[in-house]
Amino acid sequence: MKILVCISHVPDTTSKINFTEGDTKFDTNGVQFVINPNDEFGLTRAMWFKEKQGATVHVANVGGPETEPTLRKALAIGADEAIRINTVATDGYSVAKQLANVAKEGGYDLVIGGRESIDYNGGMVPGMIAQLTGANFINTCIGLEVEGNNATAVREMDGGKETLKTTLPLVIGGQKGLVEESDLRIPNMRGIMQARSKPLHVKEAVDISNETASIQFEKPAPKGAVKLVDNVEDLVNLLHNEAKAI
């Protein structure tokens, strides 16, 4: 089985976010970037298929040279090869088109993407890849087994879970639950050293026009002042007379 894991290069959630040029551009200065958490769950599941079933695992992302440390981390975790599509990731459609082109050229049986990235939270790329490649698609995936050409997946839905059976080729939008958090891997020294000699291919982007563009960013309103209350009577009084909550 040949697996492609789509990797987003996203800011760490602890990073302080700022914007420049009149709040139209994201300021990357001082920001630590990581593998998108939903993608990391998918990569870990792909590593299980590699170790248990002998699958080949490639990772790919859309971005400039600054994203290569993130791809190298994926290689250190255990992926066999990495592909960087050399263009700026601007909107979900263009990213999906670039990744779909790689998926079609590579003849992958399984494409694993995160349900959404934690930067723009578009939640559209895996579904678009499936449509563009003609593969089956399962979103919000929290469980996946593959036997031969057949796949059994569990997806999260409103009020519960749903188990589905389908066939390869398949695209999934993975998330927390695809593997346990305790199963996520931290690259060890051996993996880091091996990653240096693993192939990282730079592929020029295909010519695609963007369908959307970010016009302006706005931070959430700052939290209001906090009022400390020493006893229950004062708390009840404030909730009733000031907050009108009771």
Q: Tell me: the pLDDT tens digits for 104-125? A: 999 999 999 999 999 988 999 9
Q: Check whether 173 has a pLDDT greater than 90.
A: yes
pLDDT at residue number 101: 97
Arithmetic mean of pLDDT, 143-171: 97
pLDDT at residue number 222: 86
Rounded to whole angstroms, how far apart are CA atoms 49 and 240? 57
| pLDDT tens for each residue of 186-233 | 999 999 999 999 999 999 999 988 888 889 999 888 888 888 888 899
pLDDT at residue number 42: 98
pLDDT at residue number 116: 96
CB 198 within 8 A of CB 4: no
| CB-based burial label for 60 (10 Å; 0-12, 13-18, 19+) | buried
Secondary structure of the chain in HEC code, one letter for each residue: CEEEEECCEEECCCCCCEEECCCCEEECCCCCEEECHHHHHHHHHHHHHHHHHCCEEEEEEECCHHHHHHHHHHHHHCCCEEEEEECCCCCHHHHHHHHHHHHHHHCCCEEEEECCCCCCCCCCHHHHHHHHHCCEEEEEEEEEEEECCEEEEEEEECCEEEEEEEECCEEEEECCCCCCHHHCCCCCHHHHHHHCCCCEEEEECCCCCCCCCCCCCCCCCCCCCCCCCCCHHHHHHHHHHCCCCC
Rounded to whole angstroms, how far apart are CA atoms 212 and 6? 21
CB 86 within 8 A of CB 34: no
Phi and psi, residue 169, nearest 5°: -75, 150
Q: Check whether 163 has a pLDDT greater than 90.
A: yes
CATH fold, domain 2-221, is Rossmann fold (3.40.50)
Q: Locate the domains of the chain by residue range.
A: 2-221
- Pairing type for strands 150-157 and 56-62 reads unpaired
pLDDT at residue number 227: 84
pLDDT at residue number 211: 86
